[in-house]
Each structure stands twice: as structure tokens, then as C-alpha cells.
Amino acid sequence: MEFRNVIRNRLDGKNSDEELRLVAQGAADGSVPDYQLSAWLMAAYCRPLSIDETAALTVAMANSGQRIDLTGLPRPWVDKHSTGGVGDKTSLVVLPLLAACGITIVKMSGRGLGITGGTVDKLESIPGFRMDLTPEEMKAQAKEIGIAITGQSQDLAPADKALYAIRDVTATVDSIPLIVSSILSKKIAGGAEIVVLDVKCGSGAFMTNLERASELAQALVLIGNRAGLSTHAVITDMSQPLGRAVGNILEVREAVEILTGGIGRFAELCVALAAHTLVAAGKAADSDEATRLARETLSSGRAADEAKQWFRTQGATLDVFNDRLPEAPIKLVVNNTFGNGWVEQVDASVVGKTVVALGGGRENKSDTIDPLVGVECLKHVADTVQEGEPLFVVHASTEKAAQAACANLLSAISVSSRSVPEPPLILNTYG
Ligand code: URA
């Protein structure tokens, strides 16, 4: 089959299953050149794939490499995935919590791109932590300790790796069928039977409004269920940074705080996502029981013990629970200059861009990042604030970078003279 016909058919709005298999296989093995894949992706962006086509492409991408068979491991096999946000370190808390409840977690995570950070970068900021486990190592580790996470490799869903790199440079990331096939192909290849998807919504996420986030969540649930995964989606707020820390090692530190008794909005989100997953996995009868179980697993220290074992087993040479973590050389406090009042906005997108500019995120896939830099957000929407009170702490590698970050961060904040309600954490659930 000539690939130019596959492109032409996409422009006419229709590809057969065989053609979609050719897209996935051609991307994975390099037999279709990037310029033709780029043309197909742009055609798919303009003439979006139907539900049937998205399902066929998803399965073809999942089959483009190895698929981990988790037979022999304790059930249920669960994967939790976030579409990505600013300060989103929930996986570092929720995954060991779930593993401590007897759920097997095998997961492929991604690197951060643009303002949305990635779990791979956060875990790699822990010296020694390995994110290159082979499928065989993943399975063996999950059997031993209940949890294993790897980065994206040529082994699992290689079609996604190739297509995502082209989407990134051809402005075709923001297409719901392409996002759905990208996310779910990796979940299927990873071997999970239950998937909980945290669809982030707001200025710090791919989906900036609830309508688009709902469209994505519903498509994920529909296609995931069709592909045989029990799929659940939770739309959560990403209009302001999640928790206090944005930046890789800072986020690890905050995750450790929550695992060892920390409280607040980020902790509440971890409990809510864990509870949703515990119900989906049959570990609790309803949301109340699941919430109690999630809280108890955190407060008893069982989630922290699981995380310690996980980090050690996966190669960490530094004990993030006891050792002093490395820090950026410069710290600068940004104080409130807007008068007394209530915080009305902490724009997640501005904070995310500031962290990228500090070197804590990447503009391009090939950029290297500085794991130590970032921003601590000391105030959140609805908090009271006094003139001169600290709003942020910038962690930077140079004085100049820190000063530039301070100026940006002040544009993220607005303060109201009237009280402001706290925005809801969970905006909707599907599945
Ligand atoms: N996350 C993914 O894994 N793929 C996308 O296309 C977007 C977000």
C-alpha cells in the first residue's frame, strides 16, 4: 500500500484499520519517513479520526512493540495516569499508597514537555533512580514489591514515541483522537486491566476549559473500555499550581511530606484519586470506605514504607525520607505588593513557564533540565494575604535567572479586596 494514499484518504476523512496499522507500524520501525507521517498527522488534525478509527489506531500503536503480560502477579493490575499539569506530583504519593493496599502497579511514565512536568523527570531527580527498566525487570520488580515504573522506551508502544515527537514539532499535539491513542496505547502495552486517568483542566494543562477536558475524558473512557481496559476518568482543577512545589526535586520533597503526614489541597487530591482507584479496583465498596482506607494508609506510614522500598529497589542512592536533598544555589523570596486581601488567581501557566525559563522544564524534547530549580508557591486561591507577605520562593541556579523569575511570578498573582471561594478540586468524573 502506498502511504500517499493513506494520507489522501485521511484528507477525505476515512482510513481503514489496515491503513491505521500501517501508520503505527511505519512510525515504530521507521519504514514510513517522518515527512509522510507529518503530512498524515496534519491531515488527522484537520480531519479528526472517528471513534472507530481512534480505537483501531490505539490498538495498532499498543501492538507496535512489546506488551507486558502481567499473568502471575497479584490482581488487580492498575495504572494511574495524569494528562499533565504544573506541580503535578500525585503519582509519587498515590502509586505507593495503592501498592500498599495490595494493588499491583506497573506503569510507563513520560518526561515533562512545556509547562507540564513529567513523572520521569521528578523521579530521575533522585540520584540513582532508574527509569529505564526493561519489561522483564518491570514485571519482576512488580512481583517483588507491588510497584514498578519506567520511562518510554523502544520496547513499549514505540509508535507513540515516534508519533509524539513529530506531533510536538508539527503543532498537532492538541487533537483529542491523537491524545487518546497516545495515552491509551501505552496503558494497553503496559499490561494494566484498570486505568484511572486524571484529566487536568485549567491554564496549567493541555485542556484549558471544562468542555474540552470533558470531551477528552469521555473519549478516553469510551475507547479504553472498548479496548478491554476498565477505564475511569477524573477531571481535576489545574487553574493554579498543584500544591506548593513546582520543579523536580522540590516536588519530590513535597511528595515525601505528604507521605509522612502533610495536609492541604494537594494531600486531599491524592486521597480523592486514590479513593476513586480503590473503588474501581474493588478494594473498597464505596467512596466513603475508600477515602477512609486511603487516609489510613497514609497516616499509618504504610504508603511511606512502600515508597521507601520502591525508591530503594529502583536504584535510589539517596534516602529522600531521611537524607538532606540537594538544593539550588540561589533562593529568592517574592513578596506581596498588591495590598491586603484574598488571593484571586495564581496562574498555573505563568508559574509553569517561569519554571521552564529557570531550566526546570524543557521547551524541546532534547533539552536537558536542572532538577534543583523551581518555584515554591506559598499562597493559593482563597488564601488571605497581607502586603509584604511572601508569595513565592524562587530556587535558581543564578541571581539573574532568579530576578527574571520574580518579575514573571508577580504577573501570575491577583489579589482581591473581597473574599474569594476556594475552587473545587474535582470538576467531574466519568466511568
Ligand atoms: N500525554 C500523552 O501521553 N500523549 C499525548 O498526546 C498528550 C498527553
What is the per-residue pLDDT across 206-253, written as a single tens digit (0 to 9) for each? Answer: 899 999 999 999 999 999 999 999 999 999 999 999 999 999 999 999
Whole-number pLDDT of residue 152: 84
63 C-alpha to center of ligand 1: Å? 17
Residues with CB under 6 A from ligand 1: 83-84, 110, 164, 173, 179, 182-183
Instruction: Measure CA 399 to chain center.
Output: 30
Whole-number pLDDT of residue 331: 98
Whole-number pLDDT of residue 310: 98
168 C-alpha to center of ligand 1: Å? 10
84 C-alpha to center of ligand 1: Å? 8
Residue among 182, 230, 239, 349 flagged as catalytic: 182
Residue 312 among the catalytic residues: no
In this structure, the residue with its CA closest to atom 2 of ligand 1 is 183
pLDDT average, residue stretch 137-162: 94
Nearest CA to 225 among 63, 55, 50, 427? 55
Confidence category of residue 153, pLDDT binned at 50, 70, 90? confident
In terms of C-beta density within 10 A (0-12 exposed, 13-18 middle, 19 or more buried), how is residue 219 classed? Answer: buried
Nearest CA to 184 among 221, 213, 218, 236? 221
In this structure, the residue with its CA closest to atom 5 of ligand 1 is 179
Residue 130 among the catalytic residues: no
C-alpha 421/C-alpha 401 separation (Å) is 34
The atom of ligand 1 lying closest to the CA of 179 is 6
Please state whether the peptide bond connecting residue 135 to the residue before it is cis, i.e. omega within 30 degrees of 0: no
Helix (H, G, I), strand (E, B) or coil at 386: coil
pTM of the model: 0.96
Whole-number pLDDT of residue 144: 97
| Per-residue pLDDT at 113 exceeds 80 | no
C-alpha 279/C-alpha 281 separation (Å) is 5
89 C-alpha to center of ligand 1: Å? 17
Whole-number pLDDT of residue 353: 96
The atom of ligand 1 lying closest to the CA of 173 is 6
Q: Parallel, antiparallel, or unpaired for β 194-201 and 230-237? A: parallel
Q: Parallel, antiparallel, or unpaired for β 104-109 and 77-82? A: parallel
Exposed e or buried b per residue across 260-270, where buried means at least 16 C-beta atoms within 10 angstroms of its C-beta: eebeebbbebb
| Residue 94 CB coordination number (10 Å) | 28
Residue among 121, 155, 160, 237 flagged as catalytic: 160
C-alpha 394/C-alpha 328 separation (Å) is 9
Q: Parallel, antiparallel, or unpaired for β 194-201 and 413-416? A: unpaired
Bridge partners of residue 107, in order along the sequence: 149
Residue 160 among the catalytic residues: yes
Nearest CA to 40 among 14, 12, 8? 8
Q: What is the mean pLDDT of the chain?
A: 96
pLDDT average, residue stretch 333-340: 98
Phi-psi group of 87: left, alpha or beta (phi > 0 → left; psi -120 to 50 → alpha; rest → beta): left
Of the listed ranges 106-115, 225-234, 303-312, 336-345, the one predicted with least confidence: 106-115
Percent share of the chain, pLDDT over 90: 93
Ligand 1 pocket: which of 113, 206, 223 to mutate (most atoms within 8 A of CB): 206
Residue 395 among the catalytic residues: no
CB contact at 8 A, 181 and 220: no
82 C-alpha to center of ligand 1: Å? 9
The atom of ligand 1 lying closest to the CA of 164 is 6
The pair phi, psi for residue 96, each rounded to 5°, is: -65, -30
Residue 17 among the catalytic residues: no
141 C-alpha to center of ligand 1: Å? 26
pLDDT tens-digit series, residues 68-108: 999 999 999 999 999 999 999 999 999 999 999 999 999 99
The atom of ligand 1 lying closest to the CA of 167 is 6
Nearest CA to 23 among 216, 321, 34? 34
